[in-house]
Amino acid sequence: MRKFNISVNGKTYAVEVEEAEGGASAPATTVAPVSQAPAPVAAPAGGTAVNSPMPGLVLKLAVANGSVVKKGDKIVVLEAMKMENDIVAPVAGTITFAVKAGDNVETGARLASIN
């Protein structure tokens, strides 16, 4: 048996596949869910929420968590429909991210809080 981890729609599964001798196919597979990665830590309550304007993939956090940002500074690069969209700070303050690079987000999902 050979073991593989396969990701489908954001869920990871451990799969065992039995190799057949002589090229004949012998469908003996076992699929078991693998524990999910921990959810991102929620941004603290209060402050100004920065929410995703569209569903997409967080490509990059443009500043470090805990950085002081000015209104209009680029804070997140969000990929949607094969285009990169800059998400900017709506206010000045200290940023706390609720997502990380590689996360998929839906419309309205909290990206960060600025206090």
For residue 37, pLDDT beyond 50: no
Give residue 23's domain range. Answer: 2-33
pLDDT of residue 65: 93
Domain presence at residue 9 = yes
Question: In the predicted model, what is the mean pLDDT of residues 39-45?
Answer: 50
Give the model's pLDDT for residue 34.
Answer: 53
Task: Please count the structural domains in the chain.
Answer: 2
- Say if 97 falls within a structural domain: yes
Q: Which amino acid type is present at position 30?
A: T
Which segments within the chain are labelled E, that is strand? 2-8, 11-17, 29-33, 48-51, 56-61, 68-69, 74-80, 83-88, 93-97, 104-105, 110-114
pTM over 0.85: no
pLDDT exceeds cutoff 60 at 110: yes
pLDDT for residue 43: 45
Same-domain pairing of 55 and 101: yes
Q: Given this model, what pLDDT does residue 15 score?
A: 80
If asked whether residues 65 and 29 sit together in one domain, one would say no
Average pLDDT over residues 34-43: 49
pLDDT at position 9, please? 73
